[in-house]
Amino acid sequence: MTKTLFIDGAAGTTGLEIADRMAGRNEFTLVTLPDDKRKDAAAKREARTAADFVILCLPDDAAQEAGAMTTPATTRIIDASTAHRVDPHWAYGFPELSGAQRDRVAGARLVSNPGCYPTGFLGLVAPLVAAGLIPSDWPYSVNAVSGYSGGGKALIERFEGRDGSGGADIGFRAYGLDLHHKHIPEMQIHAGLALPPIFSPAVVPAFRGMMVEVPLPISVMPGSDSPDEMRACLSEHYAASPVVHVHNEMAPSELLILNTQKPTDRLDLYVMGSPKGDQVRLIAMLDNLGKGASGAAVQSLNIMAGLDEVSGLRL
């Protein structure tokens, strides 16, 4: 039976990418609003109430308000904002974290979409902590770079020089320098860590793409295991996943984020060990608009609807 889907915030980057992944599919009928009603609160509330599934592509405050509104018990919601990612009443939409997580997403009425940076970090760290291969009480560092599309309309216009700021000359933009980024609680809680990680995000002049790295000085980390064991653990953990790919090679010559990066909903994971095996670089490569946002939302939607989880995805 065809289900109805309303994308609240369909004109934004995430909403447009979700709609693109839903194009040509016959399992869902998209509920749309005319342009003059896109910001009309009553019209949006009516559309949310009428739909079987709603994906919120809104700023945090608006998503918080929308999520709190009374809707029919049959309406199921996916929130792509940060608002509910550590809320225990919302299932966390990273089904690969565990079999239990996949089941929770499948049966949930409320699902929060993971952040793009946390997707890379958690994909690498959470299974290793759960397996006891790295400690849960280590002060982890996260070094990450993203394409500028992750910053929304304002940052896109800045990097493309359309806001008059001269931003098109930016080669590298470090931010989150107050060590208080909104992704940190999400990383800590869903990885089961005792300490918040030190998160060092940056933006590069590529529209899409993301690299997330966690360096491990395993020679001084209590109870940590070898790079080979870490790689084997991740390979086993994601063996059944059509989305997450663990690479077997010890060290490729380079990893690139291209200015011509093509959309993808994959998550690629690497474990790089030093010749002595005393240092490790855990690296995740993903599309910040794919598995880091829209692709993850569509994957959760598929699972919630009992469909093939990769329907509409680009793998």
Phi/psi for 46 (5° steps) reads: -65, -40
Q: What is the C-alpha to C-alpha distance for residues 268 and 266, in angstroms, rounded to an integer?
A: 6
Q: What is the pLDDT, as a whole number, of residue 17?
A: 97
Contact 267, 286 (CB under 8 A): yes
CA dist list (Å): 51 to 153, 197, 253: 27, 39, 48
Q: What is the pLDDT, as a whole number, of residue 239?
A: 97
- Please give the positions annotated as active site: 116
User: For 207-213, what is the mean pLDDT?
Assistant: 97
Structure tokens at 94: 């990273």
pTM of the model: 0.95
Q: What is the pLDDT, as a whole number, of residue 152?
A: 84
Q: What is the C-alpha to C-alpha distance for residues 4 and 91, in angstroms, rounded to an integer?
A: 21
CA atoms 14, 19, 22, 26: torsion sign:
positive
| DSSP string across 93-114 | S-GGG-HHHHHHHHH-SEEEPP
Q: Mind listing the pLDDT tens digit for each residue in 259-293?
A: 889 999 999 999 999 999 899 999 999 999 999 99
Q: What is the pLDDT, as a whole number, of residue 70?
A: 67
In this structure, of 140-149, 219-228, 237-246, the range with the lowest mean pLDDT score is: 219-228
3-class SS of residue 55: strand
Q: Mind listing the pLDDT tens digit for each residue in 158-185?
A: 898 887 676 778 899 999 999 989 999 9
Confidence of residue 140 (pLDDT cuts 50, 70, 90): very high
Domains of the chain: 3-113+293-304 (3.40.50.720), 116-288 (3.30.360.10)
Q: Rank 69-78, 167-176, 212-221 by mean pLDDT and report only the highest.
A: 212-221
HSE-up of residue 29 (Cα within 13 Å, Cβ side)? 9
